[in-house]
Amino acid sequence: MSAKILDGKAVSQRIKTELKAEVEKLKQTGIKPALAVVIVGDDPASKIYVRNKKLACEFCGIKSLEFALPAETTQKELLALIERLNNDNTISGILCQLPLPEGLDEEAVINAISPAKDVDAFHPSNVGKIMIGNFDFLPCTPAGVMELIAESGIDVSGKKCVVVGRSNIVGKPMSMLLLHKNGTVTICHSRTKDLAKECREADILVAAVGVPELIRGDCVKEGAVVIDVGMNRLENKKLVGDVAFSEAAEKAAAITPVPGGVGPMTIAMLMKNTVKAAVLNSTGKN
Ligand SMILES: Nc1nc(=O)c2c([nH]1)NC[C@@H]1CN(c3ccc(C(=O)N[C@@H](CCC(=O)O)C(=O)O)cc3)C=[N+]21
């Protein structure tokens, strides 16, 4: 079988083009979406993400502000910055790039971001709303995966979905969104007994573990949809996913590439959340 490539880059471009038009309209009503990105320390992989976010903001007409703090920043200083951004009516959304350098408390930082500006949807209040199914923001990567699936005409309802990875950022919310679309969801992780066997059951297989090419051809059922959330930089600088692409593509009906799959969708969803935050924050407090 030759797999259809799910082109996240193309789909994200369509979404960003729609958002650009929406932002233009909003500006006529005095609403100006603005995203504040906080980045602490000097992680090179983070830099790529930050650069791509900035370019996407420019394209959509969203103002982007970057707050680059040194790795030695104290917890107190970081929380003070977030408090200032929370109270700044010209800022629609706040994203603090994770992981933070050693010594900084990620949970405290996530909790400090105002839920109304939490465009990552990492705050416990937003996480709870997602669980219940009545939410303002969806986490960018899982939401991007759902959009890519929907845009590709893939119906989740009744399908056996296997999510490999149980992080708060991807695996857990991903499972919840698939459940909301009536998938039958299994979550696999490092203690799963026979990972390949579980994966082979999947109609829709989502890999989000951060292990380069963990998912081999023998993990993929004939005709499955394979979504690769992994973004692993090898020593030779090559970017590979959690899926061994060519082996998996021999079996799959559809598969996402890395790069050009889930990554660009994540960024498009961040733009969408920022526009939504700008609208929500304009019709209440500000
Ligand atoms: N608070 C927070 N929220 C995040 O969403 C978050 C984070 N911290 N920390 C880091 C990870 C990683 N991440 C990426 C998203 C898109 C690309 C991306 O655009 N990838 C492109 C380009 C890759 C390239 O240019 O090499 C692609 O896959 O095609 C990369 C990485 C978001 N994360």
267 lines ligand 1 (CB under 6 A): yes
Domain containing residue 203: 140-263
Same domain as 154, residue 105: no
Going by the annotation, the residues of the binding site are 165-167
Are 90 and 98 in contact by the 8 Å Cβ rule? The answer is: no
Same domain as 184, residue 95: no
Q: How far apart are CA 212 and CA 229, in angstroms?
A: 11
Same domain as 254, residue 156: yes
pTM for this structure? 0.97
Q: Note the Cα 170 to chain centre separation in Å.
A: 7
Ligand 1 centre to CA of 140 (Å) is 10
Instruction: From 115, 148, 166, give the residue that closes a domain.
Output: 115
Are 237 and 268 in contact by the 8 Å Cβ rule? The answer is: no
Peptide bond into 44 cis (omega under 30): no
- In angstroms, the Cα distances linking 137 to 46, 119, 141, 201 are 22, 7, 12, 31
Question: Which residue, by CA, sits nearest to atom 1 of ligand 1?
Answer: 97
Residue 232, pLDDT above cutoff 60: yes
Q: Is 260 exposed, middle or buried (0-12, 13-18, 19+ CB in 10 A)?
A: middle
Same domain as 255, residue 211: yes
Phi, psi of 142 (to 5 degrees): -60, -40
User: Residue 283's pLDDT is what?
Assistant: 73
Spatial CB neighbours of 284, under 8 Å, sequence gap ≥ 6: none
Greatest Cα-to-Cα distance within the chain, rounded to the nearest angstrom = 56
For the chain, the average pLDDT equals: 96
Ligand 1 centre to CA of 29 (Å) is 32
Same domain as 235, residue 200: yes
Ligand 1 centre to CA of 286 (Å) is 31
The domain that holds 219 is classified in CATH as 3.40.50.720
For ligand 1, pick from 39, 231, 243 the residue to mutate: most ligand atoms within 8 Å of CB.
Answer: 231
Say if 175 falls within a structural domain.
yes
38-88: pLDDT as tens digits: 999 987 777 788 999 999 999 999 999 999 999 999 999 999 999 999 999
Q: Token pair of 114, please?
A: 């105002």
97 lines ligand 1 (CB under 6 A): yes
Q: Which residues of 239-251 are buried (b: 16+ CB within 10 A; e: fewer)?
A: bbbbbbbebbbeb
Say if 94 falls within a structural domain.
yes
User: 158: phi > 0 → left, psi -120 to 50 → alpha, else beta; which?
Assistant: left
Quote the DSSP letter at residue 100: P
Ligand 1 centre to CA of 283 (Å) is 30
Are 16 and 265 in contact by the 8 Å Cβ rule? The answer is: no
160-189: pLDDT as tens digits: 999 999 999 999 999 999 999 999 999 999
Count of structural domains, the chain? 2
The domain that holds 100 is classified in CATH as 3.40.50.10860
Same domain as 110, residue 148: no
162 lines ligand 1 (CB under 6 A): no
41 lines ligand 1 (CB under 6 A): no
